[in-house]
Structure 1
Amino acid sequence: MAATPHRLPLLWLLLPAGLLYGGLALYPLAGMLQMSLTEGWGHYAEVTQGRLLWRAATNTVAISLTTTAIALLLGYVLAAGLWRCGPATRALLLAFIMLPFWTAVLVKNFAWAALLQDNGVVNGLLQWAGLTTAPVTLLHNRLAVIIGMVHYVLPYAVFPIYTAMRGIDLRVERAARSLGAGTLALFWTVLLPLTMPGVLSAGLLAFIVSAGFYVTPVVLGSPSDMMVSNLVSYYVHELVDFNAAAALAMLILAAITPVIVLQQFASRGQHGGG
Structure 2
Amino acid sequence: MLVFLVALLFWPLLEIVRGAIAGGSASVDTLEANVTLGLVIRTTIVVSLVTAVVTTVLAYLIALFAWLSGTATRIVIFGFVLLPFWTGVLVKNFALIELLRNDGVFNQLLLQLGLIDQPLRLLHTRIAVIIGMVHYTLPYAVFPIFAVMLPLDKRLDRAAASLGASVFARARHVLLPLTLSGILASALLAFIISVGFFITPVLLGGPADQMISNTIEYYQKELVDFETASLLALGVSLVVTVLVILYQRIPTENQHG
Please, what TM-score do these two structures have when normalized by structure 2? 0.94
How far residue 171 of structure 1 moved from its aligned partner, in angstroms, is 3.3
Aligned to 1:230: 214
CA contact (8 A) 2:23 2:228 kept: no
Aligned to 2:196: 212
Q: 1:270 aligns with which of 244, 252, 256?
A: 252
Local SS of the residue matching 2:117:
coil
CA contact (8 A) 1:141 1:220 kept: yes
Q: Does residue 1:179 correspond to 2:192, yes or no? A: no
1:67 counterpart letter in structure 2: T
Q: Does residue 1:121 correspond to 2:110, yes or no? A: no
- 1:86-97 → structure 2 map (5 Å cutoff): 86-97=70-81
- Structure 2 CA distance, aligned partners of 1:201 and 1:93? 21
- Structure 1 CA distance, aligned partners of 2:241 and 2:144? 20
Percent of aligned pairs sharing the same letter: 44
CA contact (8 A) 2:40 2:210 kept: yes
Give CA-to-partner distance per residue, 1:192-211, whole Å, 9 cap, x none: 01001000000000000011
Q: Does residue 1:159 correspond to 2:137, yes or no? A: no
1:270 counterpart letter in structure 2: T
- 1:10-25 → structure 2 map (5 Å cutoff): 17-18=1-2, 20-22=4-6, 24-25=8-9
Q: 2:153 aligns with which of 156, 169, 177?
A: 169
- 1:11-160 → structure 2 map (5 Å cutoff): 17-18=1-2, 20-22=4-6, 24-160=8-144
| Equivalent residue pairs, number | 254
How far residue 237 of structure 1 moved from its aligned partner, in angstroms, is 1.3
- Structure 2 CA distance, aligned partners of 1:40 and 1:219? 33
Aligned to 1:3: none
How far residue 87 of structure 1 moved from its aligned partner, in angstroms, is 1.6
CA contact (8 A) 2:196 2:213 kept: yes
- Structure 1 CA distance, aligned partners of 2:55 and 2:169? 24
How far residue 257 of structure 1 moved from its aligned partner, in angstroms, is 1.7
- Structure 2 CA distance, aligned partners of 1:271 and 1:23? 35
Aligned to 1:195: 179
Give CA-to-partner distance per residue, 1:153-195, whole Å, 9 cap, x none: 0011111111111121223223323332221111000100100
Q: 2:228 aligns with which of 212, 226, 244?
A: 244
CA contact (8 A) 2:82 2:139 kept: yes
CA contact (8 A) 1:75 1:158 kept: yes
CA contact (8 A) 2:123 2:205 kept: yes
CA contact (8 A) 1:83 1:166 kept: yes
- Structure 2 CA distance, aligned partners of 1:83 and 1:180? 22
Q: CA, structure 1 residues 113+87, in 2 after alignment: closer, same or farther (shift >3 Å)? A: same
How far residue 19 of structure 1 moved from its aligned partner, in angstroms, is 5.9
**Which stretch shifts more, 30-39 or 244-253?**
30-39
- Structure 2 CA distance, aligned partners of 1:161 and 1:61? 23
1:211 counterpart letter in structure 2: V
CA contact (8 A) 2:137 2:190 kept: yes
